[in-house]
Amino acid sequence: MEKFKKTYYCILGAVTGICNGLFGSGGGIAAVPLLKKGGIPIKKAHATSLALTLPLSLISAFFYAYGKNFQWNDALPLIPFGLAGAALGGYLMKKIPTNLLRRIFGIILMISGGRILFL
17 pLDDT band, cuts 50/70/90, is: confident
48-84 pLDDT per residue, tens: 888 888 888 788 778 877 877 777 788 889 889 988 9
Q: Supply the DSSP symbol for 87.
A: H
Q: What is the pTM of this model?
A: 0.69
89-99 pLDDT per residue, tens: 889 988 999 89
Q: Which residues of 58-74 are buried (b: 16+ CB within 10 A; e: fewer)?
A: eebeeeeeeeeeeeeee
Q: Supply the DSSP symbol for 96.
A: S
Q: For position 88, what pLDDT does the model report? A: 93
